[in-house]
Amino acid sequence: MKIGFDAKRAYCNATGLGNYSRTLISLLAKYFPEEEYYLFTPKASTSLFNLNDKHVHRVLPASALHRLFSSVWRSRWMTNDLVKNKINIFHGLSHEIPMGIHKTGVKSIVTIHDLIHEKFPEQYNPIDIKIYNQKYRYACQHADKIVAISEHTKKDIIDLYKIPEEKIAVCVQSCDPVFSKIINEETKQQVAQEYHLPKEFFLSVGSIIERKNLLNVCKALLQVQPEIAAPLVVIGNGRKYKKEVKTFIAEHGLEKSVIFLSEQFGDNSRISQPETLAAIYQLSLGMIYPSFYEGFGLPVMEALSSEVPVITSNVSSLPEAGGDAAFYVNPAQPEEIATGMKKIYGDKMYVQKMKEKGKKYALQNTGEMYAHKMMKIYQSLC
């Protein structure tokens, strides 16, 4: 079977959608080496993704016109390359498929991660919302199968786009296998020294945008001081909302208590690489992720796999991501986040139970299991 992928994110996106793409493609190539995989991308950054496998083929726009108008190639003209390469199934890994693919004879699948632009339109400009609406709805209507990364996202697709339930398969994503490995002490200390990490710290991972809720984490941090002196290390970046957060930090004297790691070392540093991130998780006291809305919440799964306590929200898909292993809070209540921080900081027996539950829960969705679930979906279309 020849399986094609929209691999733009795998090669060009260092965070969420890129991690999803890289992890899935790598796992499929590992567990199903008898298949052929074609990665369609307008450009390729091998520093992010360089899978050396004889069954994995990279496909770039061939003509000068297609290279010049690469976005059009990806959204429309790519269909000619799918037919040329005799692709059996094409998987749009991030909410879209090429227009007209349903007329080519190539079966198509689209992964819908979330419908954030529908739920929180005020966080997007009107032009982007119009583009997203067109792409998402087209993909859901014309793909042969939709993959939702959580039951919550499946429900949103049904409610907002009126898609028949039987067309949607839920396939909970797995994180990079490196997060399930215990990083040796020497490596962890090397990472700690390289990034000037404090001896004790709480961790926040994710883009600094309003729905990720970093402001309320900072408010909780203020509430636990001086009882807890451990600072908050933030991995991620942002713009307008980040300025709002930094204004709060300055007004309340928290400059030394919140460390913006990505700001200090740049988005192109090794911080976002799984090996480094896994070490930082394991150095932390716990990961705080009280988002208002997520399609799934991969950092929760990464932390649980790393045997790290997690504080996360009791809304959206996050209870699916954390199972029975997380400390759940109302994301709108900083005092609940503060309670979780105090519990993790001061109750060693509780922390040990959280780690054990987290590891057990993460083992319900290993990389091998995830790859087999996805391959079963592909095979159902052949």
Q: What is the bridge-based pairing of β-strands 168-170 and 89-92? A: unpaired
Q: What distance in Å separates the CA atoms of residue 342 and residue 224, rounded to the nearest whole number?
A: 7
pLDDT at 271: 84
pLDDT at 139: 97
Q: CB-hemisphere CA count at 13 Å for 119?
A: 16
Q: Is the dihedral of CA 268, 261, 112, 162 positive or negative?
A: negative
**Is omega for the bond preceding 198 within 30 degrees of 0, making it cis?**
no
pLDDT at 278: 95
Q: What distance in Å separates the CA atoms of residue 230 and residue 198, rounded to the nearest whole number?
A: 8
Residue 373 corresponds to which tokens in the numbers above?
A: 């679930």
pLDDT at 46: 76
User: pTM, whole model, 2 decimals?
Assistant: 0.89
**Structural element, H or E, at residue 294:** none
Task: Please give the DSSP secondary-structure letter assigned to residue 75.
Answer: I
382 residues of the chain, pLDDT tens digit each:
999 999 999 998 877 888 899 999 999 999 999 999 999 999 887 777 888 889 999 999 999 999 999 999 999 999 999 999 999 999 999 999 999 999 999 999 999 999 999 988 988 889 999 999 999 999 999 999 999 999 999 999 999 999 999 999 999 988 888 999 999 999 999 999 999 999 999 999 999 999 999 999 999 999 999 999 999 999 999 999 999 999 999 999 999 999 999 988 875 568 878 899 999 999 999 999 999 999 999 999 999 999 999 999 999 999 999 999 999 999 999 999 999 999 999 999 999 999 999 999 998 888 999 999 999 999 999 8
The 3-class SS string of the chain reads: CEEEEECHHHHHCCCHHHHHHHHHHHHHHHHCCCCEEEEECCCCCCCCCCCCCCCEEEECCCCHHHHHCHHHHHHHHHHHHHHHCCCCEEEECCCCCCCCHHHCCCEEEEEECCCHHHHCHHHCCHHHHHHHHHHHHHHHHHCCEEEECCHHHHHHHHHHHCCCHHHEEECCCCCCHHHHCCCCHHHHHHHHHHCCCCCCCEEEECCCCHHHCHHHHHHHHHHHCCCCCCCEEEECCCCHHHHHHHHHHHHCCCCCCEEEHHHHHCCCCHHHCHHHHHHHHHHCCEEEECCCCCCCCHHHHHHHHCCCCEEEECCCCHHHHHCCCCEEECCCCHHHHHHHHHHHHHCHHHHHHHHHHHHHHHHHHCHHHHHHHHHHHHHHCC
**Segments of 54-201 assigned E as strands:** 56-59, 89-92, 107-112, 145-148, 168-170
**Segments of 23-144 assigned E as strands:** 36-40, 56-59, 89-92, 107-112
pLDDT at 301: 94
- Which domains, and CATH codes, for the chain? 2-173+367-380 (3.40.50.2000), 177-365 (3.40.50.2000)
Residue 281 corresponds to which tokens in the numbers above?
A: 């998780």
pLDDT at 272: 78
Task: Please give the DSSP secondary-structure letter assigned to residue 120.
Answer: -
Q: What distance in Å separates the CA atoms of residue 25 and residue 41, rounded to the nearest whole number?
A: 13
Q: What distance in Å separates the CA atoms of residue 152 and residue 157, rounded to the nearest whole number?
A: 9
